[in-house]
Amino acid sequence: MSPAKVHPDKKRGAIVPIGGAEDKEGDADVLRKFLEVSGGKKARVVIIPTASSLEDTGKRYEKLFKKLGAQEARSLPIVTRADAGKEEWLAYIDECDAIFITGGNQLRLSTVLGGTAMAKAIRSANARGVSVGGTSAGAAILSEHMIAHGDEGNTPRLGMVSLAPGFGLTNRFIIDQHFRQRDRLGRLLTALAYNPFALGLGLDEDTAAFINGDGKLRVVGKGALTLVDVSELEHSSLADTQEGKPVSLTNVRLHILVQGGTFDLETRKATA
């Protein structure tokens, strides 16, 4: 699923994947920054809690964004594919300044929302300038290729990861979350071996990548972003490797960026 085309007189809205477990009780720096890039106190935020199995998730984020100063915060409790076509809820997407997708199970997001009018509306909203962020499962689904599930460990192995279609707001990244906490370098490297076109973003908890419409990425949060660049990959043994065996990858570039670190998608230059 490719990103929607940006109108000539518009700029694409920010794309904000968050590594999960973001601070909600203290300074809430990541969520506060998300609100800031979405219009601040004038922002109207739509929350999509579909990934979560907890009934109060949407209401909790409504209260949280209002506490942070949003003009309006409304949760859309989309449970079925029929829900994803409700005209009233699609109208909220058309009028909002920010869309926030909660954590939970990313396959619930893809099976309930994938290919629906709601998914299309989210892509179109981002293309006309609406910020779209997600935490944990909500981060994984933002890109074209989504990590559905995989194994822990540092070494890439054939079959270590399963991919599924995401929302397609960008085709430039594969995103993984809870990264350091759940030892997920190997599965991100395996996913990139399948698709060396993309950049890998491995987000620690309470850490976000703010990617603006000009192709600039900035890290916000208390953890780190592990950025894996395979654009100059020289060799991959993926095609000749047996299931479960290690995959050889050469000339892989890796950056570790913390609060304030940046990355330029055009030049592929990282700055601490």
Catalytic residue among 110, 131, 144, 178, which?
A: 178
Measured distance CA(108)–CA(122) in Å, rounded: 17
CB–CB of 130/161 below 8 Å? no
Active site residue 205: yes
Concerning whether 38 is annotated as a catalytic residue, the answer is: no
Q: Distances in Å between the alpha carbon of 88 and those of 9, 84, 85, 91, 121?
A: 27, 10, 9, 5, 12
Write down how long the chain is: 272
What's the DSSP call for residue 182?
T
Q: Which residues contact 80 (CB under 8 A, 6 or more apart)?
A: 112
Strand order in the sheet with 199-203: 173-176, 199-203, 225-229, 253-257
Exactly one of 143, 144, 205, 236 is catalytic; name it: 205
Q: Of these residues, 52, 136, 143, 236, which one is catalytic? A: 136
Residues 6 or more apart in contact with residue 10 via CB below 8 angstroms: 127, 128, 129
Is 55 marked active-site?
Answer: no
Q: Which two tokens stand for residue 40?
A: 């601040």
Catalytic annotation, residues: 136, 178, 205
